[in-house]
């Protein structure tokens, strides 16, 4: 494919990836395509949250799923839930059709395998900036479960979403309160609201829901199923 022509309109782009060299390559590509674009970089989930809070009207986010502080697809769910007008292109080393399909179900506007050429990356960015979708050819079926899960999670506030991910990581209310610098009573209130919004009854169920955001969700093997039967 040919190089896309540079654009003159100023844009704002967030690049979220924990690898400095790959961020630099994406920054160069964005600069070539979007003349005068403001590029904001993030290297983990915390800095991504700050970047989106400060640039909530960004025209595009290029998102690596494997960043410190992220929990599988949690970063994508976070962006789509709280910044629904901001298109997100997932840029990932994971290239399986099932992963791409899950990104589609969770609301990504595009998916760029990290093995892609710079021309392919440029084509994807151009397509999404034009309001289109851009995904590699995939051969995967979807039961709609991820899309349904994304809809449920969109009802959570940003802080409730953080609490849910920390529950999945095995943290107790006291530990979550310390990490978020709030009272334990506040965390208990968040947990109650999370369970109510997701239609759940226990922290264990909430942790299981969060585990479904993993890139490769846990599956019970036939042998394990037989042993537990």
- Residue 140: predicted pLDDT: 52
Residues of the chain with CATH 1.10.10.10: 155-211
- Which residue carries 């959570």 as its tokens? 156
Q: Read off the pLDDT of residues 74-117 as tens digits, 9 standing for 90 and up.
A: 899 999 988 999 999 999 888 778 888 889 888 999 999 888 88
- Please determine, for residue 158, whether its predicted confidence score (pLDDT) is greater than 50: yes
Topology given in CATH for the domain delimited by 155-211:
Arc Repressor Mutant, subunit A (1.10.10)
- Provide the token pair at 62: 């290029």
Mean pLDDT of 27-34: 89
Residues of the chain with CATH 3.40.50.2300: 12-129
- Please determine, for residue 142, whether its predicted confidence score (pLDDT) is greater than 60: no
- Please determine, for residue 3, whether its predicted confidence score (pLDDT) is greater than 60: no
Burial class (CB in 10 A: 0-12, 13-18, 19+), 107: buried
The conformation of residue 110, written as its DSSP 8-state character, comes to E
- Please determine, for residue 146, whether its predicted confidence score (pLDDT) is greater than 80: no
Report yes or no: 139 and 98 within 8 Å, Cβ to Cβ. Answer: no
Q: In CATH, which superfamily holds the domain spanning 12-129?
A: Response regulator (3.40.50.2300)
Q: Is 91 helix (H, G, I), strand (E, B) or coil?
A: strand
Q: How confident is the model at residue 9 (pLDDT cuts 50, 70, 90)?
A: low
Q: Read off the pLDDT of residues 48-79 as tens digits, 9 standing for 90 and up.
A: 999 999 999 999 999 998 888 888 898 999 99
Q: What's the 3-state SS for 2-54?
A: CCCCCECCCCEEEEECCCHHHHHHHHHHHHHHECCCEEEEECCHHHHHHHHHH
């Amino acid at each position: 494919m040919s190089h896309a022509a540079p654009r003159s309109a100023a844009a704002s782009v967030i690049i979220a990836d924990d690898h400095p060299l790959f961020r630099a390559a994406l920054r160069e590509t964005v600069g070539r395509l979007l003349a005068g674009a403001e590029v904001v970089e993030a290297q983990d989930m915390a800095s991504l949250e700050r970047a989106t809070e400060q640039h909530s009207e960004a025209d595009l986010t290029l998102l690596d799923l494997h960043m410190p502080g992220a929990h599988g697809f949690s970063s994508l769910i976070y962006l789509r839930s709280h910044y629904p007008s901001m298109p997100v292109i997932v840029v990932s080393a994971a290239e399986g059709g099932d992963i791409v399909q899950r990104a589609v179900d969770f609301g990504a506007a595009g998916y760029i395998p990290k093995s892609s050429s710079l021309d392919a990356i440029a084509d994807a960015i151009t397509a999404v900036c034009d309001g289109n979708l851009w995904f590699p050819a995939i051969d995967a079926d979807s039961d709609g479960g991820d899309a349904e899960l994304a809809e449920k999670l969109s009802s959570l506030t940003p802080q409730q979403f953080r609490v849910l991910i920390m529950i999945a990581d095995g943290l107790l209310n006291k530990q979550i309160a310390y990490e978020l610098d709030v009272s334990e009573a506040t965390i208990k209130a968040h947990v109650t609201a999370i369970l109510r919004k997701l239609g759940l009854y226990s922290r264990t169920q909430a942790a299981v829901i969060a585990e479904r955001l993993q890139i490769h969700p846990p599956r019970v093997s036939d042998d394990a199923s037989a042993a537990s039967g």
